[in-house]
Structure 1
Amino acid sequence: MGWRGILGFEYGIVQAPLGPDIAGPHLVAAVANAGALGLLRSPDWDSPDYLRELIKKTRTLTGKPFGVGVVLAFPFEENLKVILEEKVAVLQVYWGHCTKDLVNKAHSAGVKIVPQVGTVEAAKQAIDAGVDAIIVQGREAGGHVIGQDGLISLVPMVVDLVGDRGIPIIAAGGIVDARGYVAALALGAQGICLGTRFVATEESYAHPEYKRKLVEVDETEYTDVFGRARWPGAPHRVLQTPFYKEWRTLPAHENEANKPVIGHSTINGVEKEIRLFAGTVPNKTTAGDLESMVMYAGQGVALIKEILPAGEVVKMLVEGAQLITRQNFLK
């Protein structure tokens, strides 16, 4: 059945590479130990020694395979070398062109490569490049969103495009429970990728206040208010916190570059200032005006009622999908 494995993993569930460092070794290992695919997030700057330590740390916590996600919009060549040298199971790439050369590099190292796309055209390019699977992201997703189409229309179009090529399609965007999982399977996907639901877990590196907001706040909005200077032209979906509601109409010419510092954080081993309207979510080390910081979330956030262990999330998704399938499709 559809909840069974993809890419050699026990279950068709992927934990998104939550940035900048929310998906750390403890979260990824917990997901891997539960039989799903956990993805570390590579630093958004070349930091090969630090990334190697992240991979090694994860391997002390799990004997299962896992992957690393890379944002192609930022420097990544040195980090990529480490990922391939360490021969992690999966290289996930996003926000950039997944070229045939990149695919060949991954395959030469024995690493599977999975791009995340938001359009049919990007999916076609990925197929032509020879990728191992494709994550199809709908506009419902939290964090940075590269496409404009909703998941319910985009997934079937990409499924039809893939045809009988044997490339698994993984649905991403607004999925947080077993109902979303089964719906994705009905659209033709073989797996699902979840971000927000895994931020709201005990093992994620998100600040407790961020996790609390994910449980308490029900509404999100697609915007470009945060991080305009560092990552221009990169829209995102965020929680509608009181701060966001007050500043949602921030003029297009304004950005974080000349705004006051509202906090500090250690991100991937580097001390960072956080300015007003920066695109950096609060992690466990963050101090300052947390209420005024960005908090990414997908449209399914209203379905998250509690913070759970990551392994329990995987279990609930699998068992729930099995139950729904038996009740509704196997009568």
Structure 2
Amino acid sequence: MGWRGILGFEYGIVQAPLGPDISGPQLVAAVANAGALGLLRAPDWESPDYLRELIRKTRTLTDKPFGIGVVLAFPHEENLKVILDEKVAVLQTYWGDCTPELVAKVHSVGVKIVPQVGSIESAKLAIDAGVDGIIVQGREAGGHVIGQYSMPIPFNFCMLLIADGSIPSFILLQDSLILLVPTVVDLVGDRDIPVIAAGGIVDGRGYVAALALGAQGVCLGTRFLATEESYAHPIYKRKLVELDETEYTDVFGRARWPDAPHRVLQTPFFKEWRSLPTHESEANQSVIGHSTIHGVKKDIRRFAGTVPNMTTTGDLESMCMYAGEGVGLIKEILHASEVIRRLVEEAQLIIQQNIK
């Protein structure tokens, strides 16, 4: 029998929709075949024919259900039609409002909808809309971090921030999982909406910690990024094993996706440019590489928010590399099925050893 299953899947483990195309058919099928929920990532532009092909290719590799993630901040209506027409098991949404109208449309064809949220306010809206599950993303997560808000800085704290004679009027803060998850669990109450914790979780210890907070499942991005089946470039995967520090920043992708902070590996390139002036962005930078993303050839400019995939060429060491805070616990590249097996067995062992 399965253990901690959610949403009809054997295990309470979700593989995040790694962008822009890192969680492709091979990774998603491997996760699905191992009993967890694998999520493709839809293109950030309308490409319905390509998306239909992507879904069908995944189905040639697994007969298990899987899902697909859509960033609502980008054009997606035509892509959504394909997802619903193909009746993919789960639609995961991100960076946009999960409205009652959207939920009703998705439910009308028998598809489940699971938004990823980063605040209590967004969680309340999702619960009221009648979603099937909620992924709660903490500030520990890699890639784009949706949970952020601004608040005034106390005067005495401002004194610590004076650097060039100016004092900022606000600071961005993000909630951590240890605060967000139990609060959202309490909001859900006795409704059948599993809460799934995301952010910095890479092993069985993180799984158990999330369960202790009241979550019914976990969503992992960086750990599945560092697998044999992910579509990340080998250099990117190697950096995930070699490096162990990350930073929350807005250096990458400012022109394409403004006001979208993210957590990245502290590569030598990032350390050199972490204080990039606010008026700079990839828009006025030179091309440092090339990549084919979701079937489309793309130039990659310096400070672009595009991570290197298997097709990427050029100065990969200077490209963006997203990673969560748990990256320091990743010591090797594994097969996705092995990641899932270890997660479950480690979590079971920890619980058995601590139940007297």
The TM-score by the shorter chain falls in which range? over 0.9
TM-score, structure 2 length as denominator?
0.92
CA distance in 2 between counterparts of 1:105 and 1:208 reads 40
CA distance in 1 between counterparts of 2:134 and 2:77 reads 22
> Structure 2 residue aligned with 1:197, among 223, 232, 239?
223
Q: How far 1:141 moved relative to its partner?
A: 0.0
Q: 1:119 — aligned with what? A: 119
- 1:63 corresponds to which letter in structure 2? D
CA distance in 1 between counterparts of 2:199 and 2:279 reads 29
Q: CA offsets, 1:247-280, max 9 Å, x none?
A: 0000111100010000000000000000000000
Q: 1:37 — aligned with what? A: 37
1:177 aligns with 2:183: no
Q: 2:213 — aligned with what? A: 187
Q: CA offsets, 1:127-180, max 9 Å, x none?
A: 010000000000000000011100111100100111111210000000000000
Q: 1:228 — aligned with what? A: 254
Q: 1:105 — aligned with what? A: 105
Q: 2:340 — aligned with what? A: 314
Q: Is the 8 A contact 2:2 2:10 kept in 1?
A: no
CA distance in 1 between counterparts of 2:38 and 2:2 reads 18
CA distance in 2 between counterparts of 1:101 and 1:23 reads 28
Q: 1:78 — aligned with what? A: 78
CA distance in 1 between counterparts of 2:254 and 2:260 reads 8
Q: 2:309 — aligned with what? A: 283
Q: Is the 8 A contact 1:3 1:321 kept in 2?
A: no
Q: 1:132 — aligned with what? A: 132
Unaligned runs of 5+ in 2: 148-173
- 2:37 corresponds to which letter in structure 1? L
Q: Is the 8 A contact 1:243 1:292 kept in 2?
A: yes
CA distance in 1 between counterparts of 2:46 and 2:351 reads 44
Q: CA RMSD in A?
A: 0.9
> Structure 2 residue aligned with 1:247, among 266, 270, 273?
273
CA distance in 2 between counterparts of 1:224 and 1:326 reads 42
User: Larger Cα Rg: Structure 1 or Structure 2?
Assistant: 2
How many residues are paired up?
A: 330
The alignment partner of 2:31 has SS state of helix
Q: How far 1:2 moved relative to its partner?
A: 9.9
CA distance in 2 between counterparts of 1:239 and 1:3 reads 33
Q: Is the 8 A contact 1:2 1:191 kept in 2?
A: no
The alignment partner of 2:271 has SS state of helix
Q: CA offsets, 1:5-54, max 9 Å, x none?
A: 10000000000000000000000000000000000000000100000011
Q: Which runs of 4+ in 1 moved over 6 A?
A: none
- 1:191 corresponds to which letter in structure 2? G
TM-score, structure 1 length as denominator?
0.99
Q: How far 1:3 moved relative to its partner?
A: 4.1
Q: 2:184 — aligned with what? A: 158
Q: Is the 8 A contact 2:42 2:79 kept in 1?
A: yes
Q: 1:16 — aligned with what? A: 16
